[in-house]
Amino acid sequence: MKILVTGGLGFIGSNFIRYLLNKYPNYEVINIDKVTYAGNPENLTDIEGNPNYSFVKGDICNQELIDKIVKSVDGIIHFAAESHVDRSIENSSDFIKTNVEGTRILLDAALKHGKKRFHHISTDEVYGSLGDKGKFNEETPYSPRSPYSASKAASDHLVNAYYETHGLPITISNCSNNYGPYQFPEKLIPLFITNLIEKKKVPLMGNGENIRDWVHVLDHCEAIDLIYHQGKIGETYCLGGNCEKTNFEITKQILVNFSVGEEMIEPIPHRKGHDFRYAVDSTKIKNELGWEPKYDFEKGMKETIEWYNNNETWWKKLKHNKNDRIKKEEIKMKGVILAGGFGTRLNPCTKVTNKHLLPIYNKPMIYYPLMTLVNAGIKDIMIVSGQGHSGHFLNLLDSGKELGVRLHYEVQEGAGGIAEALSLAERFAGKDPITVILGDNIFECNIKKYVDDFNSQGESARIFLKEVSLEDAKRFGIATVEKDKVTYVEEKPTNPKSNLAMVGLYMFDSKVFDFIRTLKRSERGELELTDAIGCYLKNDNLYYDKISGFWSDAGTFESLFKTSCFVKNKLEKDNLSH
């Protein structure tokens, strides 16, 4: 059984993947996650070596990518969602895009590829707010009261519609509030726990009179397992912990575990549309599937507090990421391969595939820049491809696990230039430096020394130069060097001032993305990377190295042939020497 789990780096999703692989060791799990603020790769570091687990960094709104993945799986368990109510009140656009449109794209793919089994994770918040009595159940009318819950309600209706209209085998679960390990520290329970660990007060809305029904995340995981394997197709199951607590009661229990009093409470105003009470009736799943919560709340809370006490490194990175500067020793180089473009010089071959998938001797072209990065010790690599091709790269390279790296994918829409393509890697790069390779550039040299030097260098950019003929210099970006300093750069000059071509290899700090935002489009309508390099030159932060050995810009049939011959001869020579 191969299952696609969406949003598997989040709180519930990561706990579920670990649960699933432990219970079903023969299952294969593909985890797709966009790695937003709440998606944390460190949630699953303990299973990265499991051969039955693979990770794809991607967006469920990327229809082409989803289509390729869903084709290969037996079923989908859909966690991925924007879920923080306060964030939805500030700006709801991401919630509508991910929670509604992303769900639609997954449903279409499941339908297209043989009506794949589809389980949709939802929330009790779609039902609105309760008074002092009663509980939500599967017959409760929907009455969402925040942009978040409205987007989840819409996705629930969409999932049901695909069952009623197309016969897609779906189930839905609406669960009450979860708690447990790996929960993002902006949520109530982990926020209060981590604040108290740091000797800070806890921000309680109003008098803490709002009531929630709490269930441990591992109880939730067991319920999803039962519904996916044994639930009735087309049905919804409500999941609750039968554990109603006011927020003040939760706060008191946490305070008691830290041996502090109510002086550590800091009252804050209620947010807009703050629902008074949620409570869920789990009778249906208990009667049909035999599920009921196993975790006692008091014991579960103590274990949760203990987990956060023992995992400060995990939550402090998340909680203080916005304010903390990245320390030098934490900086690590990431790699970006720019593999877009139309490859017009390689027509008609590029009418059917991306030029970076054409062969150079015995491997697709993309392998060579990829191995340049791998051999330099770079483990996190993004491939930016053009429209229509990202699925091809995914089929070929998958998550990168076989190469010992983590591959991420992004798609450039249209032909907006190399700098525009690079800008798509900004979130992936974060504050880390990046080595950028144009995907059709092949190098003989090992760049590890340059990577190590750059990591210790500080804020700057580094370009790599190779002497060419003045006629060939017209085809490349060129640089002039005087007294060991770059003094001038220009893109494809008509009358080159230098024969030093900038090869398709660059190293940048994170300022490159700020510079790209200031660029104006060239006469070709493109954002030129040479212009971004010029910004570093103006700030006296541009450095260079001259590379040795073979280099090819394999963008023509002649250069493809020349490069294939070089690779073939080198491999034969290496084999003879061994």
Whether pLDDT at 327 is above 70: no
Mean pLDDT across the stretch 228-236?
98
Q: What average pLDDT is seen over the chain?
A: 90
The pLDDT confidence band at residue 321, using thresholds 50, 70 and 90, is low
Indicate if 204 and 182 belong to the same structural domain: yes
Say how far apart CA 69 and CA 491 lie, in whole Å: 39
Indicate if 364 and 308 belong to the same structural domain: no
pLDDT given at position 455: 67
pLDDT given at position 326: 35
Indicate if 17 and 85 belong to the same structural domain: yes
SS3 sequence of 142-193: CCCCCHHHHHHHHHHHHHHHHHHHHCCCEEEEEECEEECCCCCCCCHHHHHH
Q: State yes or no: is 125 an active-site residue.
A: yes
Among candidate residues 59, 64, 82, 124, the one labeled active-site is 124
pLDDT given at position 453: 81
Indicate if 306 and 337 belong to the same structural domain: no
Domain endpoint, select from 265, 284, 319: 319
Whether pLDDT at 459 is above 90: no
Whether pLDDT at 179 is above 90: yes
pLDDT given at position 197: 96
Within a domain: 481? no
Mean pLDDT across the stretch 378-404?
86
Q: What percent of the chain has pLDDT over 90?
A: 64
Q: By three-state DSSP, how is residue 130 classified?
A: coil
Whether pLDDT at 573 is above 70: yes
Whether pLDDT at 23 is above 80: yes
pLDDT digits (tens, 9 = 90+) for 466-510: 999 999 888 888 999 998 899 999 988 999 999 999 999 999 999
Per the listing, tokens 């969602």 go with: 81
Mean pLDDT across the stretch 245-267?
94
> What tokens appear for 495 in the block?
């009358």
Q: Which of the two residues, 455 and 191, has the higher pLDDT score? A: 191
Indicate if 336 and 312 belong to the same structural domain: no
Indicate if 306 and 249 belong to the same structural domain: yes
Among candidate residues 28, 33, 127, 148, the one labeled active-site is 148
Whether pLDDT at 530 is above 50: yes
pLDDT given at position 462: 93
Q: What's 240's domain CATH number?
A: 3.40.50.720
Whether pLDDT at 331 is above 60: no
Say how far apart CA 405 and CA 374 lie, in whole Å: 7
Say how far apart CA 49 and CA 406 lie, in whole Å: 12
pLDDT given at position 191: 95
Mean pLDDT across the stretch 264-273?
79
Q: State yes or no: is 432 an active-site residue.
A: no
The pLDDT confidence band at residue 148, using thresholds 50, 70 and 90, is very high
Instruction: Give the residue numbers spanning the domain of 559.
Output: 330-466+502-577
pLDDT digits (tens, 9 = 90+) for 332-346: 799 999 998 777 778
pLDDT given at position 564: 93
Whether pLDDT at 322 is above 80: no
Within a domain: 111? yes
Indicate if 298 and 338 belong to the same structural domain: no
Indicate if 161 and 71 belong to the same structural domain: yes
Within a domain: 492? no
Q: Which residues, in sequence order, are CB contacts of 17 under 8 Å at separation 6+?
A: 5, 8, 29, 31, 44, 47, 53
Within a domain: 146? yes
Within a domain: 472? no
Mean pLDDT across the stretch 526-540?
92
Domain endpoint, select from 319, 342, 374: 319
Per the listing, tokens 């991607």 go with: 58
Whether pLDDT at 171 is above 80: yes
Whether pLDDT at 270 is above 80: no
Q: What's 451's domain CATH number?
A: 3.90.550.10
pLDDT given at position 152: 96
Within a domain: 490? no
- Rounding to the nearest 10 degrees, give the CA dihedral for residues 349, 354, 360, 362: -100
CA 495 and chain centroid, separation: 44
Q: Which of the two residues, 69 and 321, has the higher pLDDT score? A: 69
Within a domain: 496? no
Indicate if 388 and 298 belong to the same structural domain: no
Are the CB atoms for 409 and 390 separated by under 8 Å?
yes
pLDDT given at position 578: 39
Whether pLDDT at 401 is above 90: no
pLDDT given at position 84: 67
Indicate if 304 and 336 belong to the same structural domain: no
Say how far apart CA 246 and CA 211 lie, in whole Å: 4
pLDDT digits (tens, 9 = 90+) for 34-93: 887 778 899 999 998 899 999 998 999 999 999 999 999 999 999 999 876 777 787 788
pLDDT given at position 274: 62
Q: State yes or no: is 24 an active-site residue.
A: no
Domain endpoint, select from 298, 319, 340: 319
Question: Which of 94-98, 110-114, 444-448 tops mean pLDDT?
Answer: 110-114
Indicate if 225 and 99 belong to the same structural domain: yes
Indicate if 387 and 301 belong to the same structural domain: no
Say how far apart CA 68 and CA 113 lie, in whole Å: 10
Within a domain: 484? no
The pLDDT confidence band at residue 271, using thresholds 50, 70 and 90, is low
Domain count, the chain: 2
